[in-house]
Amino acid sequence: MRAGTLSPSHHAPRHFLRHHRCLDVVAGVDRVLARGRGALKHGALSLIALTAVLLAVGAVAAWDLTGGKLLVMETASMCPKVCVGAMLAERPVRGPLHVGELITFHPPSTLKETYTHEIWRIFPNGMVQTKGVANPNHDPWLITRSDIVGKAAFTVWGLGWVLKVLPFLAIGVALWVSARRWIAEKRRWEWDRTWMTALWVLPMWSVRPLVQVAVTGLAPDPAHVHWSIETVVNTGILPVAFSARGGQSPARVGATGVASVAGPPSRYGAPLLHEAVSLPWWGWAVLGIVVLSPMAGYLWHLGDGESGGRRSARSLASRYRLARERAPVHRVSSEHVAVPAGQGRAA
- Give yes or no for a contact between 205 and 168, defined as CB atoms under 8 angstroms apart: no
CA distance 347 to 345: 6
Q: So what's the pLDDT on residue 316?
A: 54
Average pLDDT over residues 108-113: 82
CA dihedral angle for residue 233, residue 238, residue 244, residue 249, rounded to 10 degrees: 110
CA distance 122 to 166: 37
Ordered by start, the domain boundaries in the chain are: 72-158, 213-289
Backbone angles phi, psi at 35, to 5 degrees: -65, -45
Q: Is residue 19 scored above 90 in pLDDT? A: no
- Roughly how many angstroms between the first and final C-alpha of the chain, as a whole number? 12
User: Which of 34-43, 70-79, 98-107, 170-179 is least confident?
Assistant: 34-43
In the chain, the percentage of residues whose pLDDT exceeds 90 is: 37
Regarding predicted confidence, which is higher, 36 or 101? 101
Regarding predicted confidence, which is higher, 299 or 193? 193
User: Which of 78-82, 138-142, 215-219, 296-300 is least confident?
Assistant: 296-300
Kindly indicate the confidence band of residue 74, based on its pLDDT and cuts at 50, 70 and 90.
very high
Fold of the CATH domain 72-158: Umud Fragment, subunit A (2.10.109)
pLDDT, tens digit, 9 for 90 and up, residues 188-241 = 888 888 888 889 889 989 999 999 989 888 888 888 888 988 899 999 999 999
Q: Is residue 127 scored above 90 in pLDDT? A: yes
Q: Which residues contact 307 (CB under 8 A, 6 or more apart)?
A: 33, 37, 300, 301
Q: Is residue 158 scored above 50 in pLDDT? A: yes
Q: So what's the pLDDT on residue 248?
A: 78
How far are the Cα atoms of 56, 112, 178, 196, 224 from residue 52, in angstroms, in the given order? Answer: 6, 34, 16, 13, 54
Q: So what's the pLDDT on residue 249?
A: 76
Kindly indicate the confidence band of residue 6, based on its pLDDT and cuts at 50, 70 and 90.
very low
Task: Kindly tell me the burial class for residue 78, based on how many C-beta atoms sit within 10 Å of its own C-beta (0-12, 13-18, 19 or more).
Answer: buried
Average pLDDT over residues 101-110: 90
Kindly indicate the confidence band of residue 347, based on its pLDDT and cuts at 50, 70 and 90.
very low
Kindly indicate the confidence band of residue 143, based on its pLDDT and cuts at 50, 70 and 90.
very high
Rounded to the nearest integer, the mean pLDDT of the chain is 79
Q: Is residue 340 scored above 80 in pLDDT? A: no
Regarding predicted confidence, which is higher, 332 or 172? 172
Q: Which residues contact 313 (CB under 8 A, 6 or more apart)?
A: 26, 29, 30, 33
The angle formed by the CA atoms of residues 128, 134 and 140, to the nearest 5 degrees, is 35
CA distance 254 to 278: 9
Q: So what's the pLDDT on residue 300?
A: 63
Global pTM?
A: 0.71
Q: So what's the pLDDT on residue 193?
A: 83
Regarding predicted confidence, which is higher, 346 or 313? 313
